[in-house]
Amino acid sequence: MTRALHLAVALDGTGWHPAAWREASARPTEIFTARYWLDLVLAAERGGVDFVTIEDSLSLQSSVFAAPDDRTDQVRGRLDALLIASSVAPLTTRIGLVPTVTTTHTEPFHVATALQTLDFASEGRAGWRVQVSASSAEARHFGRRTIEPLDLEAYRRGEGEALMRELFDEAGEVIEVVRRLWDSWEDDAIVRDVENGRFLDGSKVHYTDFAGRFVSVTGASITPRSPQGQPPVTALAHATIPYELAAEHADLVYVTPHSPDDLERILAEVHDAEARLRDPVRPPLLVYADLVVLLEEQADAAENALRLLDDLAGAPLTSDALVVAGTPAALVERLLDGHRRGLDGFRLRPARLPADLDAIAGSVIPALEAAGVRAAAASDQSGASASGSAATLRDRLGLERPANLFTASTRPTEVRA
């Protein structure tokens, strides 16, 4: 097999089209139930998807940039993404679970222990989609800081650059201290010596000793080092500042090209940031492209389905990612072309759930397997990798289990702002 093409699916409500909840196959009465989310994740797992991401935010969904819109004709309200992932973890066997957790208003200690717990619950299939919050409304929910309102046009003029730099610098510190907390227990810190009454080797539990501009954490985690050591860290990026965050701190970045030329430009910028900022001992940054997809067996049927949803919404679907309405075969050709151009994978955002997820699992992935860019074993239900051993998410992504930061050869220095 040639270099593997990885595939993730982004789950959000009833789908990424704002009118998807009104589509015939949607299940809008169930989106606040555990069963609904389990069914989606199991469908992705049966189809051979490598991992799912679960969307989240600290305010209601909105059609307006960084502000509430007060609309009542679209899905509003959501369950906590990390708790969804934790609820489905024991009931799945192979698929990676990557919830969105915001860094801007969330304590790093809570982020670290919650994701470690998810890694234990899933037996090594946890990941983290890092997200920042530039919303003044979300800041008011917490009352700890003030963020001035920023509209989309002002942001496009560059007026929000200082705020974005601050939020992403803060996110970088949060990721670093979370990694230290994940590693604050060495792998063999728990000895379980019943005869001598010694459960823990205290010499192998370390202080994080991190004091930065935004974050100060001294103590060790309360949770032992989890199965993956460090769950993969992923981030969505659209511009230079988030590209730099991903290059320095993440394992995987999602980008949003709208054309082959756009992809070439983005890859060049991401790789430049990686060359400048990434620790050379870390593995290369994985790059996935995001696509919003609406799939039907006939191209005109897909276009008509999108048109009907747009009519229900009162406006054409717009997105940061490219919107692709067509056949599974046409999507496969697009994925293969992106893979040839240097992408490690794609994160597909189904316009309609569960309809487009079913098409991805039932048609797109088998075609990719037939093309030789995915091993057929990826869709096996035994929970085993092609090598026959139980796979962690890091295994599936080709990422080695990282050495503990606090071992003698790699011990981090104390950080002071």
Say if residues 125 and 97 touch (Cβ distance below 8 Å): yes
Residue 364: C-alpha distances to residues 89, 250, 297, 357 (Å): 25, 28, 11, 10
Give the closest residue to 43 by CA, choosing from 99, 87, 101, 88: 88
Structure tokens belonging to residue 303? 């276009």
Q: Where are the alpha helices (DSSP H) in 70-222?
A: 81-88, 108-121, 136-142, 152-156, 161-182
Say if residues 58 and 141 touch (Cβ distance below 8 Å): yes
DSSP letter for 206, please.
-
* Cα 201 to chain centroid, rounded: 34
Say if residues 237 and 290 touch (Cβ distance below 8 Å): no
337 is in an annotated binding site: no
DSSP letter for 126, please.
B
208 is in an annotated binding site: no
Residues 130, 349: Cα–Cα separation, whole Å: 17
Structure tokens belonging to residue 163? 């705020």
Q: What is the CA radius of gyration of the chain?
A: 21
Structure tokens belonging to residue 115? 């994701």
Say if residues 82 and 115 touch (Cβ distance below 8 Å): yes
Residues 401, 227: Cα–Cα separation, whole Å: 9
Say if residues 271 and 286 touch (Cβ distance below 8 Å): no
- 297: buried, middle or exposed (CB in 10 Å: 19+, 13-18, 0-12)? exposed
The annotation places the binding site for FMN at 56, 100
The annotation places the binding site at 56, 100
